Structure formats: C-alpha cells, structure tokens
Amino acid sequence: MYDIVLIPGDGIGTEITESVTSILDSAGVDINWINCKAGETAQKEMDNPLPEETIEAIKKYRIVLKGPLATPVGAGFRSINVALRQKFDLYSNIRPAKSLPNIESPYREVDIVLFRENTQGLYIGKEHWVDEHQQHAESIAVVTRDASEKIITAAFEYAKKHGRKKVSLVHKANILKLTTGLFLKIGKEISENYPSIEFEDLIVDNMAMQMVLRPQQFDVIVTTNLFGDILSDLASGLVGGLGVTGAANIGENAAMFEAVHGSAPDIAGQNKANPTALLFSALMMLEYLEEFRKAERIRSAVYTVLQDHKEVCTQDIGGQGTTQSYTDAICKLLRD
C-alpha cells in the first residue's frame, strides 16, 4: 500500500482525478490517497492557495498526484504550480509525447521525451516595475550551473537508461548569451561524458519549425523552463493534444505527477474532459514506484479502448463519449 498525496485542483481537476483513481483501483493498485487542496479551490475555501497542511503532507509522503491549478492572469496570487516546483526543488520536468493508436493527427511515429528545467529561467516570474506609473516592466531570467547540470544530466541519464539515441539541447544563445549561453556550454561539456549518445543544439525558433516539419527526427530534448513550457505544448499538439500528454516533476526528495494541461475552465463540470493526460502522469508515477507491470497493463487497456472502442472516448480526440464512458470502458477491461 502506497501513501500518496492527491490534489484534485481546479476546473476539470475533480473529474479527471476521480477518473484516474478509479482506473488505478480497477487495476488493483493499492493506494491510500491523502486528499489535499491547493490553487483557486484552496484560495476560495481556506483563503490560502497553498495551505500549510498541503505543504506538510507533501513533506511527509513525498509523492503527489496533482490535477491542474488555475493561476489568475495579470494579477492575483502567483502560480502555485511554480511555487510547488521551487519549494520541493522538483528540477526535472519530464514530458513525453508519443503517437497513440487511432488518434487523428498528420504526424505518425512521434516519440519525444522533453526535459524541461523546472525551477529557473525566465519562468520564475521575478518581475518589477521600473517606473511609478507602471508603464515600464522588467523580468529577470536566472540560470545557474548547478541547476543546468542537474537537468542536462537527467536527460542524458534517461537517454542512456532507455536506449535513446540522441539528445537535442534547445537554447537562444545567439541573443541571451549569458543565461541560455551558459546552459548550452554546460550541455556541450556534459555531452562529452556520453559518447554513444548523439548530441545536437538548436536555437528555439528553428526548433519550433523543425518540430512541426519533421518531429520524428527528435528523441530526447532538454531545454530551459519557458522554452520547455512552450515546446512541450507544441509536442502535445503533434500527438493528439493536451488531453493525452502526461508529465512528471522530479527532485531528489519529492516527485509530483501532473498533466501538461491546465484547468480547462471552458469545459469544467461538463463530463467532457479527457483524463488520459493525468492517467499517463499516474503511469509515470507507477513507473517511479517500479510498478512497471501494472503501468503497462493500464497503458495497454487505454490503447485497446482507443483502438477498438473509439466511440466511448472523449470528443477532443474524435470520440463521441464522455469522461465517464471512457473511464468505465478502461475500468471494465481492467476488471475483466
């Protein structure tokens, strides 16, 4: 029995976490869920978007399955996703994007694993007004050797462990010569320790075009925080959209598994949300716990439902069903 912190989160969070916990239950995974709150829901109910109880539970149990957390645009509290990644030094954000059976897409045989540095870069939101009339703003990007070494090494180690052939490092060192220049320099140094893995570097704008033109040329990608944020959504778009791409945030002392997507307020509460992304995140969690067989069994059930029962799938991937009909079909396969 595993003790795992569950944060359903905001928007579609409750629907997709209920779906995923029932699928894991049907597969016989024995988990004691420690229910916690964060984000907009916690702000409304507890007047704090990141309650102390939630922090203490993560410190104690160290593994988290998290639904999406909404962040107000332009004003209001700062991102709790970013706060959690920084607080627990979850430096490695791993976002796989793999073509799935029977999902309409102009792309076939995409199999990318993107490593995004998760605690620094421009994404940390260190901003200030330069003038008192708030007509001039500045934002600070932070890149350190220590954090860059950790994420780039994690990408190479993953490539080595999983028999991957190439690591592509993405930067903008022609313009941001100090910050992403340092990241690139460290990448070149580390690549020398892995002579059997091909290494290349690409400037981020070219990378965006290359991923759209011929994504099959990429294997493992490693990049800084903001570029990783954008390119991982692009990668999701290549394999069926945000509803089908999971992610892991891993540090030395804790790990948090969450979908790439947000709280999808446009479809919240309508039984339309695709739980596959969070389910794939939960499968990454099972693999982290070395429950490889159970993870594989669930993945295989998902593939069968996509292939043979497309009508029960959610509409974002071309089905005519709902969150519930899709969940029920997977649970039934797992129980039979």
Q: Using an 8 Å Cβ cutoff, are 282 and 257 in contact?
A: yes
Amino acid at 175: I
The CA-based angle 99-326-31, given to 5 degrees, is 90
Tokens 């330069």 found at: 130
Tell me whether residue 123 is one of the annotated catalytic residues.
yes
Active site residue 205: yes
The least CB distance from residue 28 to ligand NAI, in Å, is: 25
How many of the other CB atoms lie within 10 Å of CB of 19? 24
**Is residue 240 close enough to count as binding ligand NAI by CB under 6 A?**
no
DSSP state of 172: -
Contact 120, 225 (CB under 8 A): yes
261 binds ligand NAI (CB under 6 A): yes
Q: State the Cα–Cα distance between residues 312 and 326, nearest whole angstrom.
A: 5
72-111 footprint of ligand NAI as x/- string (CB under 6 A):
---------x------------------------------
Q: State which of residues 179, 224, 263, 327 lies at the interface with ligand NAI (CB under 6 A).
A: 263
When CB distances to ligand NAI are compared, the closest residue is 262
The site that binds ligand NAI (CB under 6 A) totals a number of residues, namely 20
Give the per-residue contact string, 20-59, with ligand NAI (x = CB under 6 A; - = no).
Answer: ----------------------------------------
* Secondary structure class of 7 (helix, strand, coil): strand
Write the interaction track for ligand NAI spanning residues 264-303; mark x where CB under 6 A is met and - where it is not: xxxx-----xx--x--------------------------
Of the listed 201, 229, 316, 328, which one is catalytic?
229
DSSP 79: P
- Give the nearer residue to ligand NAI in terms of CB position, either 80 or 298: 80
Q: Which amino acid, one-letter code, is at 263? A: S
Residue 13's CB: how many other CB atoms inside 10 A? 28
Residues across the chain: 336
Q: Is 288 a catalytic residue?
A: no
Tokens of 217: 């040329």
Spatial CB neighbours of 14, under 8 Å, sequence gap ≥ 6: 8, 67
Backbone torsions φ then ψ of 270, nearest 5 degrees: -110, 10
Q: Which residue of the set 37, 123, 201, 294 is catalytic?
A: 123
Number of H helices, E strands in the chain: 11, 12
Could you tell me the smallest distance in angstroms from the CB atom of residue 55 to ligand NAI? 17
323 CB-side CA count, 13 A? 23
State the minimum distance, in angstroms, from the CB of residue 145 to ligand NAI: 27
243 binds ligand NAI (CB under 6 A): yes
Q: To the nearest whole angstrom, how small is the minimum distance from the Cβ of residue 276 to ligand NAI?
A: 7
What's the CA gap between 63 and 175, in Å, rounded?
38
Instruction: Note whether 316 binds ligand NAI by CB under 6 A.
Output: yes
Q: Is 228 in the site for ligand NAI (CB under 6 A)?
A: no
Q: How far is the CB of 108 from ligand NAI (least distance, A)?
A: 22
Q: Out of 37, 150, 172, 294, which one is annotated catalytic?
A: 172
Just list the catalytic residues. 123, 172, 205, 229
Residues in contact with ligand NAI by the rule CB under 6 A: 12, 68-71, 81, 242-243, 258, 261-267, 273-274, 277, 316
